[in-house]
Amino acid sequence: MARKRVTPVGAFDRDLVRGALVDAIWKLDPRRQKENPVMLAVEIGGILTTLSFLAALASPGAEPALFSGLVSLWLWLTVYFSNVAESLSEGRGKARAASLRASRTGVAARRLSSASLTAPSEEVPSTALAPGDHVLVRQGDLIPSDGEVVAGAVLVNEAAITGESAPVVRESGGDRSAVTGGTTVLVNEAVVRITAAPGQTFLDRMIAMVEGAERRKTPNELALEVLLFALTGVFVVVVANLYPVSAYSAASSGQGAAVGLTVLVALFVCLAPTTIAALLPAIGIAGMDRLFQRNVVALSGRAIEAAGDVNVLLLDKTGTITLGNRQAVAFVPVNGQAHAALVEASLLASFADETPEGRSIVDLARESGAVGTCPDDAVFVPFSAHTRQSGVDCGGVRYRKGAADTIVHEVTAAGGAVPPDFEAKVHGIAAAGGTPLAVSRDAAILGVVHLKDILKPGIRERFEDLRQIGIRTTMITGDNHLTAAAIAAEAGVDDFLGEAKPDDKLRLIRDRQAEGYMVAMTGDGTNDAPALAQADVAVAMNNGTQPAREAANIIDLDSDPTKLLEIVEIGKQILMTRGALTTFSIANDIAKYFAIIPAALVGIYPALSVLNVMGLATPYSAVLSAVIFNALVIPMLVPLALKGVPFRPIPADRLFLSNLVVYGGSGVIAPFIGIKLIDLLVAGVLHL
Amino acid sequence: MTYPDPLLDAAGVMVFLLLLTGAAVLLGRYLARLFFRERPPSIVGMLEAPVYRLLGIDPSAEETWRGYARDLLLFNGIGLAFLFVLLLLQGVLPLNPAEVPGFAPALALNTAVSFVTNTNWQAYAGEAAASYLSQMAGFTVQNFLSAATGLAVAVALVRGLSRRETDRIGNFWVDLTRAVLGLLLPLALVAALLLASQGVIQNLDPYIQTASAHQAIAMGPVASQEAIKELGTNGGGFFNANAAHPFENPSPFTNLVEVFLLLLVPAAVPFMFGEAIGDRRQGYVLFGVMLALFLGAFAALYAAELAGNPLLSDVTGIPMEGKEVRFGLAGTVLYATATTATSCGAVNAMHDSLTPLGGLVPLGLILLGEVVLGGIGSGFYTLIAFVVIAVFIAGLMIGRTPEYLGKKIGAFEMQMAVVAVLTSGVLVLVLSGIALALPAGTDSILNPGAHGLTEVVYAFASMANNNGSAFAGLDATALFYTLAGSIAMAVGRFVPIVAILALAGAVAARKTVPPSFGTLPTHTLPFAVWLVLVILIVGALTFFPIFAMGPIAEQLQMAGGV
């Protein structure tokens, strides 16, 4: 599908990088830095060493001014790099928000005194609209706020929100009535009942989310912060302990001196989990941004994280597992009824049926040579999810088509009998994975239309992947159990719910949740809203109704139900990236200890130089090299933080082992190599 | 004296550990019956009923974690006050044939805290300072109760992990009573009889004056205290020489019996856990992790001691410096490993006289947080706190909100786990830092330098982790050490306990997520290895600088001929 973006924003767009580099300076303000306590601690360390540098300039102390000056510089850079990473990830969101905001400014609305196209109207600014107001929208207007079409129908360009320029129909009644503030009416006019208070519209919420303004820390982020904070605290104590212990050791061994302030701070910063702490905000924001690139708007960070935890997926069959349009492939009359009569009745009963299935019946009937006509007084009965039938009253004759049980009910209520072979024919079609649609004329069942479902390509493999990562899929369908079972088997879902009524979904979700599962579902209709509100992860289609969109915590702007699978992957990626960088960060400490401890203590115990396994040139160069490595690793890992650790659909135990080896292993080895290389450079150039 | 044979010793230790494991499995199953069945075994049921009637307790009324913690603190507070007063007044109380005076207040506080917290740090010499009444009604009673307290906390934690959507984690009084009546008393009785039969003394006689009248041979009810001292991972010796004294530990056989006793209950708790949650593999993994660390430590200590002190190798030719001839190298190394792997702290050799790297092993075992078997109950619950941290990082790496046994690990669980794991380490760093900065701290050091540093760190490590063994070489009777030590023992015991009970309450309230392919399995070898790494890395990162300036510097100096 060709798609035009509102604003194409690359990962490292030049303007964005420039903006981030500047913004990161302002973030050095401790009041802003306190959002990230670990980096605040690094900044305080930087202030201390800078003071020590200034003192050394004034009067030379134990540590050379060049050494404390360079360490200070790199500590400031450490904090700065962390800020750049955050600004960079925020910048992408801000660029998108700016373009979204453009479609919100200065819209005038025509407020109507009643819900009628002809009611008198007055001009008011869109910000004055309250929920319940009615407004008139016409060709060329920007829709002033979120609402529901209550009269008329319009063709709307929603590119401002979805990036999709193909116009969509929004009309009163049914599941396609919701309109979004900021979108443009292309053709026609309609009355819209406003449903959102000013500042609370979908566009407002979307802007807030992509900007990160409303970013609240997720439960998982909070738990990780507890760990990082605790580690940081322990390292403060370790370093605080090092001073008196080294002072005692120096005094009792009669040589060397207590470890100096610059080295103490350097050791603290190197041990503290700065790498993960610096990149933590960026990981979350970037994850949200990756979703947005796939045209998915999460209304809370919590929802994305929950998506990574989902273990039951409820999927509607139609549109998700199968292509939306079922095709009529055959008319199967029951014994004693003419084929032509069945075709004729099917045609009439489907006249007013605008669903793809209905149209495919009309097409097939016409191909078979039927020419159904009806007098003008015909009354069309539209399909409803509750009656599960549709048809026409045509010249006093009731033509109906629908699910077998509803038609049986219809016919017996009219005093007719069920033909003996009817059930077998229904079963035959259903068992083959088709959908049998019974057709009746007054009190007689004429036969069955065979509708065939077509699976979406690749869906089976997708479910196989999901099963590998422990997610069970449940297919929900209004089809009877037999049909549902056949399609479920063909698609490879784990479970299915046939003949589902709207409240069955809600019950199913509650049952699964009571068993401890996290449930995700997609929905678009108003009758999905309760189930969406109950689900842990609820994805609403953007073309769905307003209640559905309000009940959901994630909106898919493309209205593509299979997106749920990608959302799950991104949710997992965010956590994996955090875990991988935490492991990397902690594993780094081993090499840093081997760099700094011998350097700090060799004056007291010369024999400790055997711990200098990297053979670093001098104590000063060793400490400085460790600090430089610690700072540089942040920008080097920014791409990983923004793109996320690649997701692979393999079972948890194998995934754990491979990520542990990759990120833990490299976390142990990389700093040994990196610090040694930097030391060669530092010692060679500066002769420190 | 013959030269030690490493292969023979290794084989012996393997057989010993095999026997221990078998006994631990059986005891673990019994403990699961004792604590997690609707009704305890009928004999215990008969014994406990009068206790509940006497105390006015409804054994079926379960408590929230707050109620459990409140009762636990109350009970231990009363025990502390009782023991404190008893020690102050022992000079005027009966059963004092040696006519020892009352304890000085600071020492009484230190000693009372020490026994209530299952530490059994002894800043006094048992035979010279404590009356028989203090030994029996004070120390021995607390040996039972402090061990039962630790076990009760572990039981409450297992309940929390195995339940769902409830705020109840059991009744402290019931768990305490069953731990004493159903486990500790009967085992201690058998053990005391066994030890007495092997020559450990048990009497209330006055001290015997030798013919020359220059020496008094101390007597006392030793076997009854020795049994629970090992069994309850208490470690407080009747005599100052602890289990190096021939009346406490007369032979190589009693030496093995005592090591067996001190390892038994800590080793059984993981198996109890596996039974209670209905997944034995989870218990096997935890025991396996403990055993692997234990074997590693034993091998390291054995190797260090076998290498011995190069400066003395010409003198004897056999590396026996600081070891009892009765027990030999292997018997000493096994005891030293076992007593510091568990939080027992009884000793049959002074760890001060191990080689520097050898001394690092018991110190390291203590500083890992007493999770290698650890104290009764406390080793297990601290290990679970490590599991929570390990599961958390591992869970992130597979892209799911981390969960253990189906319980999600949120910020609160994380806070409690971190408190339980890190409290003792922070105490050691802060208090040893203060001690080395103040003359009051450094004045007590008998061997200044790297060795003296290790002595100070070992003292605080032992107290903060409730081990109680002393490295020796440090005058711990100074006011600074008795007071700082009291803080270390009390905080190191009760802060983690409250955190663990809070953790138990939090996980009990959670739903249990059914396992799937997407769940990180915690019964596998990779997870066990990961858990070992997390324990070692947390310990190493916290104490590397101290190790460098203490044992490592000393070993390097020794190798350099200093």
Residue whose token pair is 């008969």: B46
The radius of gyration of chain A from alpha carbons, rounded to an integer in Å, stands at 33
Question: What is the side-by-side strand order in the sheet with A327-333?
Answer: A327-333, A444-452, A434-441, A397-402, A389-394, A379-381
Q: By the CB < 8 Å criterion, does A620 face chain B?
A: no
Query: Does domain A296-321+456-480+492-557 correspond to CATH entry 3.40.50.720?
Result: no
| Contact with chain A for residue B26, Cβ under 8 A | no
**Which residues from B are below 8 Å from A593, CB to CB?**
541, 544-545
Residues of chain B with pLDDT under 50: none
Residue of A232, A235, A270, A309 to mutate, interface with B, max B Cβ within 10 Å:
A309
DSSP state of B134: I
List all residues of chain B from 146 to 205 with a beta carbon under 8 Å from chain A: 164
- Whether residue A644 is predicted with pLDDT greater than 50 in this model: the reply is yes
Query: At residue A357, what is the residue type?
Result: E
The CATH number assigned to the domain with range A108-197 reads 2.70.150.10
Chain B residues inside the 8 Å CB shell of A465: none
Cα–Cα dist B421/A365, whole Å = 75
Contacts of B526 in chain A (CB under 8 A): 653, 656-657, 660
Which residue is closest to B407 within chain A, CA to CA? A516
Q: Determine, for residues A223 and B399 on separate chains, whether the beta-carbon distance falls below 8 Å.
A: no
Distances (CA, A) of B79 to B112, B164, B374, B502, B544: 8, 34, 23, 23, 37
Q: How far is CA A19 from the centre of its chain?
A: 26
The interface predicted TM-score (ipTM) is: 0.94
Q: Is A562 on the interface with B (CB under 8 A)?
A: no
The Cα angle at residue A156 between residues A154 and A162, in degrees rounded to 5: 150
C-alpha B31 chain-centroid distance: 19
Quote the pLDDT of residue A164: 64
Q: Which of these, A265, A137, A276, lies nearest to A194 by C-alpha position?
A: A137
pLDDT value at residue A376: 73
User: What pLDDT sits at residue A141?
Assistant: 84
Identify residue A324 by its one-letter amino acid code.
G
State whether B556 and A608 contact (CB < 8 Å): yes
CA distance A634 to chain B (A): 19
A540 beta partners: A523, A555
State whether B513 and A311 contact (CB < 8 Å): yes
Phi-psi region of B120 (alpha: psi -120 to 50; beta: other; left: phi over 0): left
For A111-127, what is the mean pLDDT? 84
pLDDT of residue B71: 97
A619 chain-B contacts, CB cut-off 8 A: none
- Among the listed residues A133, A316, A589, A679, the single catalytic one is A316
Longest dimension (CA), chain A: 115
A583 in contact with chain B, both atoms CB, cutoff 8 A: yes
A53 alpha carbon, distance to own chain's centre: 47
Instruction: Give first-to-last CA distance, chain A, whole Å.
Output: 60
Q: Which residues on B lie below 8 Å from A271 (Cβ)?
A: 541
Question: How far is C-alpha B325 from the geometric centre of its chain's CA atoms?
Answer: 26
Domain extents in chain B: 7-278
Closest Cβ–Cβ partner in B433, B527, B559 for A244: B433
Q: What was the pLDDT predicted at A565?
A: 78
**Could you give the dihedral angle defined by the CA atoms of residues A193, A195, A201 and A205, in that order, rounded to the nearest 10 degrees?**
-150
Interchain CB distance below 8 Å, B437 and A244? yes
Residue in A225, A574, A583 nearest the CB of B393: A583
pLDDT tens per residue, range A5-41: 444 445 567 888 888 888 889 888 888 888 889 999 9
Residue B308, helix vs strand vs coil: coil
Chain B residues touching A611 at Cβ < 8 A: 548, 552
pLDDT greater than 60 at residue A1: no
Q: Is the C-alpha dihedral spanning B452, B453, B458, B464 positive or negative?
A: positive
> Which residues in chain B have Cβ-Cβ distances shorter than 8 Å to A253?
449-450
Whole-angstrom CA distances from A191 to A55, A110, A145, A146, B517 are 73, 10, 12, 12, 51
Beta strands in B240-338 (DSSP E): none
Please give the structure tokens belonging to residue B443.
């004045």
Q: Which residues of A touch B410 (CB under 8 A)?
A: 219, 222-223
Measured between alpha carbons, how far is A87 from A71 in angstroms, rounded to an integer? 24
* Region class of A296: left (phi > 0), else alpha (psi between -120 and 50), else beta: beta
CA-nearest of B99, B101, B102 to B88 is B102
DSSP SS3 for A493: coil
In degrees, rounded to 5, the angle at the alpha carbon of residue B12 between the alpha carbons of residues B6 and B14 is: 100
DSSP B206: P
Could you tell me how many CB contacts below 8 A there are between chain A and chain B? 215
- What mean pLDDT do residues A186-196 have? 86
Hey, are the CB atoms on A576 and B557 less than 8 Å from each other?
Answer: no
Q: Could you give the 3-state DSSP secondary structure of residue A483?
A: helix
Q: A445 is written with which tokens?
A: 């069942």
Question: Considering only residues 470 to 529 of chain A, which have any Cβ-Cβ distance to chain B shorter than 8 Å?
Answer: 470-472, 515-518
Residue B130 confidence (pLDDT): 92
Comparison of pLDDT for A417 and A92, the residue scoring more: A417
CB-based contact (8 Å) between A661 and chain B? no
Contacts with A240 from chain B: Cβ below 8 Å:
429-430, 433
Do A248 and B453 lie within an 8 Å CB cutoff? yes
Collapsing DSSP to helix, strand or coil, A488 comes out as helix
Closest approach of B11 to chain A, Cα-based (Å): 33
Mutate to test the interface with B, among A232, A252, A276, A663 (most CBs of B within 10 A): A252
pTM of the predicted structure, to 2 decimals: 0.87
Distance, in Å, from the CA atom of A178 to the CA atom of A548, rounded to the nearest integer, reads: 10
Q: Which residue of B has its CA nearest to A601?
A: B549
Q: In the beta sheet, which residues pair with residue B407?
A: B404
Contact present, A38 and A273 (Cβ < 8 Å): yes
Residue A555 zone, left/alpha/beta (φ > 0; ψ -120 to 50; rest): beta
- When CB atoms are compared, the residue of A517, A607, A657 closest to B514 is A517
Q: Which of A227, A238, A305 sits opposite B542 (nearest CB)?
A: A238
Chain A residue numbers touching B405 (CB-CB < 8 A): none
Q: What is the mean pLDDT of residues A89-95?
A: 78
Q: Does A647 touch chain B (CB under 8 A)?
A: yes
B447: contact with A, CB 8 A cutoff: no
**Closest Cα in chain B, distance from residue A321 (Å):** 22
Q: How far apart are CA B107 and CA B101, in angstroms?
A: 13
Q: Residue B337's pLDDT is what? A: 95
Give the one of B413, B549, B560 whose C-beta lies nearest to A601's C-beta. Answer: B549
Buried b (16+ CB within 10 A) or exposed e, B423-434: bbbbbbbbbbbb
Window 153-182 of A, Cβ < 8 Å to B: none
A468 contacts B517? CB cut-off 8 A? yes
Contacts of A464 in chain B (CB under 8 A): none
Determine whether the interchain pair B433/A472 forms a contact, defined as Cβ–Cβ distance below 8 Å.
no
Tell me the CA distances in angstroms from A674 to A83, A275, A620, A630, one per residue in order.
23, 15, 16, 10
Are B227 and B346 in contact by the 8 Å Cβ rule? The answer is no
pLDDT per residue as tens digits for the range A423-437:
888 888 878 778 788
Whether domain A327-452 has CATH 3.40.50.300: the reply is: no
Neighbouring CB atoms inside 10 A of A228's CB total 22
CA angle B25, B29, B33 (to 5 degrees): 165
Which residues in B393-412 are b (16+ Cβ under 10 Å) and which e? bbbbbbbbbbbbbbbbbbbb
Task: Classify strands A379-381 and A389-394 as parallel, antiparallel or unpaired.
Answer: antiparallel
Averaged confidence pLDDT in chain A: 85
Q: Residue range A273-283: average pLDDT? A: 92
Distances (CA, A) of B407 to A248, B165, B510: 47, 11, 6
User: What is the greatest pairwise CA distance in chain B?
Assistant: 77
State the DSSP H helix or E strand holding residue A434, giving kind and residue range, or none if neither: strand A434-441
Catalytic-residue membership of A316: yes
The helix or strand, by DSSP H or E, that contains position A330, with its residue range, turns out to be strand A327-333
pLDDT in tens, A200-242: 777 777 777 666 655 677 888 899 999 999 999 999 999 999 9
| Domain boundary assignment for chain A | 14-95+212-292+571-685, 108-197, 296-321+456-480+492-557, 327-452
* Element spanning A263, H or E: helix A261-271
The pLDDT tens digits of the residues spanning A596-633 come to 999 999 999 999 999 999 999 999 999 999 999 999 99
B536 part of contact set with chain A, CB < 8 Å: no
Residue A523 pLDDT level (bands cut at 50, 70, 90): confident
CB contact under 8 A, B396 and A243: no
Inter-chain residue contact A241 with B448, CB threshold 8 Å: no
Q: Does A601 touch chain B (CB under 8 A)?
A: yes
d(CA A332, CA A450): 7
Sign of CA dihedral B29, B33, B35, B38: positive
Q: Which of A237, A573, A589 sits opposite B426 (nearest CB)?
A: A237
The model's pLDDT over A457-509, given as tens digits with 9 standing for 90+, comes to: 888 888 888 888 888 889 888 777 877 888 888 888 888 988 887 778 889 99
List the structure tokens of A547. Answer: 């209640």
Q: Give the C-alpha separation, A586 to A604, whole Å.
A: 28
Side chain identity, residue B446: L
Integer Cα distance of A409 and B410 in angstroms:
52
Q: CA nearest A150: which of A471, A545, A532, A469? A: A545
Q: A247 and chain B: CB distance < 8 Å anywhere? A: yes
Nearest partner of A225 among A675, A617, A582, A646, judged by Cα: A582
- pLDDT on residue A116: 82
Contact A572 B452 (CB under 8 A): no
